[in-house]
Structure 1
Amino acid sequence: MDYGALDAELRDRNADGVVHVGDRFDDDLRYLTGFSGPDREYAFVYDGEGGEAILCAPQLFEEQAQREFSGTVVSAAEQEATTAGERAADLVSGTVLVPQSIPHDTALWLERAGCDLESTAVVERMRSRKTEAEIERIRTVQEAAQTGMARAETVLASTEVEGDPLIWEERVLTTERLRREANAAMALEGVNPVGNTVIGAGERCADLHFTGDIPIKRGETVLLDLSPRGPEGYYGDLSRTFVVDLEGGWERRAYVAVERAQEAAFDALSEGAGTLASTVHEETAAEISAYGFRPDGTPGFTHGTGHGVGMSLHEAPSLRSDTELEAGMVLTVEPGVYDPQEGGVRIEDLVVVREEGFENLTEYPRSLVPEVRSSGQ
């Protein structure tokens, strides 16, 4: 792990150390340490510019910490203090930079030890710009998501369409059955769906977080959003929309609008680093509007064009913000059109901003009518 950004922040703020306390669900802490457990608090301490990175490992997890963390691991047996905050306070002095989310008891321990606390967002800034190693981890997870999408699309393409609802392998095909097929395919690739597989059908496509179980019918939109997490903590994110036995109408018009909107976003991103994030969203929304759909209302395009992806599924930057995009930022590009009376259409790729242009980490084809896929393409 390169802590150069922490050094720069300490130097600029004339501070003496950085402390972060959390558990396995704290993505900032996972990012700083690479340590993947447990669900009890532990501490990361960076002591001085160019100094030592220390992990106060939880009891019984010292060996795991030694494997996963590249800095110094201090076991619970080496310190008299018991809580993570108290253990961190034993290792620092002077002005200490902490995140706004620092646990209250940790702040008290640091203050009792004579430390002056100042808030910092340096980790958020570090996370927003990925290294090439991080990009490769994300690429691998995105490939697994594509395998899951291929399985789901193949199931849809293999259904019987004589009546409603659709029949697959002699049983009614529901959103839950389709979700299980996609999740099983991704699990075989070594990633965890982590409950993030969203599959809607018909009017439920307008519910962006639908995880219920309903029959899938011919002629209606089926929206699949797959966001698995890899073993090193990084996410992928992929969405496609299909219609079995397409007859046209609203579904086709919405799909064309979304395709063109994504291409407009790609055109904006082709300028590469230095592009304003909001410009990408504005160009996308304008294209949606040109096809007669409301760019920021219901029905219509009801969310931003995209967001950062990394150790968290949703992280900085938002493409609705005035952030200047930097090389290494990994973003979703996911225009959509939704109507509770008709259904929903979204296409989502994952891209990385480069100094010149961008790279699409997604190789999955776009097709409104489902086809049998033998792999992730």
Structure 2
Amino acid sequence: MPPGPRGGDAIDAAIDDSGAIGFVSVCRGDDPTSRYLTGLDAEFDVVYVRLPGETHLRVPSTVDIPDGDAASIRVDDRPAGQAAAAVLAAQAETGTVLTPQTVPHDAALHLESAGYELSSTTAVQDARATKDAAELDAIEGVQRAAKRAISAAAVILADAHVEDEALVWSDAPLSTERIRRQVNATLAVEGVDSAGATTVTTGTRGGRESAVELVPGEPIVVSVSPRGPTGYRGALARTFVVDADGGWERRAHVACAAARDVALVEADPGADAGFVGSEIRAETAAFGFSMADEVTRDVGGGLGLSAREDPPLDGDAELATGNVLRVRSAITHATHGRVELTDVLVVEDDGPRYLTDAPTTLDPSRWTE
């Protein structure tokens, strides 16, 4: 379990580089940044103050003071800016204070009226983009659960049979909703939260919000983005076809698989993240699919305590060792439906690797071999 607060070293470096006296953030409830900075799974607001080498948290009197060996935690019911200023005063009565761009306006006013000049920093955002060993272990554990959940869907589809041009499983018509429930049940058994992100879609008939009965020959996309007990997310999507005829969906799947492989070639430390994203799109389109109308724009980006973090795969950031990326290749057609493959990749010193070895096949029976 990833221990305690994070980001302190990165904030200290930013303080030192800028000549500031400290850093202040107002952490809102269970916001991922709050969990990252405080190490707490809290539903209440926390005033976070970092002095060089020291973390100070101020919480309201309406809650029990949480345990926090790595931080000084005290009750303070004053407005956030005033509570932070009181901590800063032990270091200096004036000076520059670093804050994220999201610092509330009223907190900023209180800090400025107390004599502090504010300067925006992306230190926390940048630190979150690179995962340490404990964070990577947490994400990898969620990915294992995601693989088992997708496997549960594959087993159901492999066991289904065709009756009156529909798929039947366990003596009843098989629908997107029945699969979604089984996938979520598997995630629960694995000890992770579906986070409301499990989707099962088929063909061109929807399936995201309602139960759609499944038929042979249509691509069925099962996608999960579960959240583990420490808050870290995973992401996995696979496409299945029962009784495929080898038509459009086969060609689309070959294109998505090739695009998926491109990330293993291009996502090295020092590579341009936007270039990796453009190569994924270009490889997908190389199989004759329209870049404008069929190839997905969302090819992924950073993943951690949030499903979407830095670095995005459509920006100009440089990939670094420790980046964990959601890599997505997908093709959508107005008549045939959608094919998608999504995985989680980690950038390591000797190159990238996917965190699971989940099969990519369209044939669900291959998952049971």
TM-score (norm 2): 0.92
**Structure 2: how far apart are the matches of 1:163 and 1:112?**
74
Alignment-derived partner of residue 341 in structure 1? 335
Counterpart pick for 1:15 among 10, 20, 27: 20
The answer to whether 1:172 aligns with 2:170 is no
Bigger drift between 213-222 and 135-144 goes to: 213-222
The answer to whether 1:310 aligns with 2:304 is yes
Alignment-derived partner of residue 365 in structure 2? 371
The answer to whether 1:244 aligns with 2:242 is yes
**Structure 1: how far apart are the matches of 2:222 and 2:350?**
31
**Structure 2: how far apart are the matches of 1:350 and 1:9?**
30
CA separation of 1:123 and 1:289: change in aligned 2, threshold 3 A: same
**Structure 1: how far apart are the matches of 2:357 and 2:164?**
33
Counterpart pick for 2:87 among 88, 91, 106: 91
Counterpart pick for 1:289 among 277, 285, 288: 285
Alignment-derived partner of residue 44 in structure 1? 48
CA contact (8 A) 2:81 2:110 kept: yes
1:212-223 alignment, distance < 5 Å: 212-223=210-221
Structure 2 residue matching 1:166: 3-state secondary structure: strand
Counterpart pick for 1:329 among 317, 320, 323: 323
> How many matched pairs?
359
Q: CA RMSD of the aligned region, Å?
A: 1.9
CA separation of 1:373 and 1:250: change in aligned 2, threshold 3 A: closer
**Structure 2: how far apart are the matches of 1:107 and 1:97?**
11
**Structure 2: how far apart are the matches of 1:193 and 1:85?**
36
Alignment-derived partner of residue 28 in structure 1? 33
Structure 2: stretches of 5+ with no match in the other structure: 1-5, 90-94
1:1-377 alignment, distance < 5 Å: 1=6, 3-38=8-43, 40-47=44-51, 49-50=52-53, 52-63=54-65, 65-66=66-67, 70-74=70-74, 76=75, 79=76, 81-93=77-89, 94-204=95-205, 210-269=208-267, 272-295=268-291, 297-298=292-293, 300-371=294-365, 373=367
CA contact (8 A) 1:204 1:340 kept: no
Give the AA of the match of 2:71: G
CA contact (8 A) 2:167 2:174 kept: yes
**Structure 1: how far apart are the matches of 2:64 and 2:149?**
35
**Structure 2: how far apart are the matches of 1:91 and 1:204?**
57
Give the AA of the match of 2:319: L
Identity over the aligned pairs, expressed in percent?
38
Bigger drift between 246-255 and 25-34 goes to: 25-34
**Structure 1: how far apart are the matches of 2:366 and 2:169?**
14
**Structure 2: how far apart are the matches of 1:145 and 1:333?**
15
Superposed CA offset, 1:285-306 (max 9, x none): 22222210012x22x1122322
TM-score (norm 1): 0.90
Give the AA of the match of 1:309: L
CA separation of 1:119 and 1:2: change in aligned 2, threshold 3 A: closer
